[in-house]
C-alpha cells in the first residue's frame, strides 16, 4: 500500500513506537537505533528511565518517517530479545484524542538524510540561486542618524532542489539573522557572517524540500 512521506517532523501515533522492558546498559539508544533502523529511516530514538512506581529499567520512544516501517518493526520486534537477555515489548503509541500536534519542517541535515535514503545519493541535487546580504535594508541599525553599537547581520538565500529522475524542481527562500555584540571587532563580524550564511542556506534548503512529497510503495 502506498504511503506519502513528507520532509517534516513525523506526526501521528502510527509513526511512533513505544518500547519497554529495556535493560539498563551503555549505548542503549545506539543499540535501539541499530535494531530498528533496519526497517526504515528513523527520525529519533529517545530512551528514558522508568518512573519509580514502574520499577527499574528503561523505556524508549522511537519515531519513524513511515507508518508502514513502524508497523513492520512493531510486528517483528515485539516479544523478541534483540540485543538483550529479556524480550522487549513493542507497541504503536495510542492515539491521543483532542490533541493536535504542530507539524514542523525537518532541518536541512534531516532532509538530506531522508532524501539519500529514498532517492539515493545521486537522485537529487541542490544549488544556491542567491545568497544576498540584506543587513540594514530596513534601517533598524540607525537611530537619529547614529549607528547603534549592537548590529545584526542578515542574509537572504534562495535554493533550488532538483530530482532529475522525476523531472521535479522546487525552490525555497529563507532569511538568516544574528546579532553582533561588538560591531568594531572584525573577527566577530566574520564569524557571525559565516554563521548566518550557513543558517540561511540550511533554512532555504529545508524550505525547498518541504514542497516535495515522496510516495513510498
pTM beyond cutoff 0.75: yes
The predicted structure's pLDDT at residue 55 = 81
Per-residue pLDDT of the chain (217 residues), as tens digits, is: 799 999 999 988 999 999 999 999 899 999 999 999 999 999 999 999 998 887 889 999 999 999 999 999 999 999 999 999 999 999 998 765 555 567 899 999 999 999 999 999 999 999 999 999 998 866 554 554 445 556 889 999 999 999 999 999 999 999 999 998 877 788 888 999 999 999 999 999 999 999 999 999 8
Which pLDDT does position 146 carry in this prediction?
Answer: 44
Domains and CATH numbers, the chain: 7-92 (3.30.70.330), 108-216 (3.30.390.80)
Cα separation of 74 and 152, whole Å? 49
Residue 78, pLDDT score: 98
What is the distance between the alpha carbons of residues 83 and 51, in angstroms, rounded to a whole number? 23
Where b means 16+ CB within 10 Å and e means fewer, 1-39 reads eeeebbbbbbeeebbbbbbebbeeeeebeebbbebbbeb
Q: Which long-range contacts (CB under 8 A, 24 or more apart) does 132-139 make?
A: 132/156, 132/157, 134/175
Q: How far apart are CA 71 and CA 69, in angstroms?
A: 5
Amino acid at each position: 500500500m502506498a504511503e506519502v512521506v513528507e520532509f517534516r517532523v513525523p506526526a501521528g501515533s502510527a509513526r511512533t513506537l513505544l518500547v519497554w522492558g529495556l535493560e539498563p546498559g551503555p549505548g542503549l539508544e545506539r543499540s535501539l537505533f541499530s535494531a530498528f533502523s533496519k526497517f526504515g529511516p528513523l527520525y529519533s530514538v529517545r530512551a528514558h528511565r522508568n518512573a519509580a512506581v514502574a520499577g527499574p529499567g528503561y523505556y524508549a520512544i522511537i519515531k519513524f518517517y513511515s507508518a508502514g516501517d513502524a508497523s513492520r518493526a512493531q510486528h517483528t520486534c515485539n516479544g523478541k530479545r534483540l540485543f538483550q537477555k529479556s524480550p522487549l515489548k513493542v507497541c504503536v503509541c495510542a492515539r491521543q484524542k483532542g490533541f493536535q500536534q504542530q507539524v514542523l519542517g525537518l532541518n536541512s541535515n534531516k532532509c538530506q538524510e531522508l532524501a539519500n535514503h529514498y532517492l539515493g545519493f545521486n537522485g537529487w541535487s541542490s544549488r544556491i540561486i542567491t545568497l544576498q546580504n540584506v543587513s540594514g535594508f530596513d534601517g533598524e541599525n540607525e537611530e537619529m542618524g547614529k549607528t547603534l553599537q549592537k548590529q545584526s547581520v542578515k542574509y537572504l538565500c534562495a535554493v533550488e532542489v532538483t530530482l532529475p529522475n522525476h523531472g521535479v524542481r522546487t525552490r525555497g527562500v529563507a532569511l538568516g539573522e544574528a546579532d553582533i555584540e561588538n560591531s568594531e571587532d572584525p573577527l566577530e563580524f566574520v564569524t557571525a557572517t559565516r554563521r548566518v550564511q550557513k543558517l540561511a542556506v540550511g533554512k532555504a534548503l529545508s524550505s525547498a524540500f518541504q514542497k516535495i512529497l515522496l510516495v513510498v510503495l
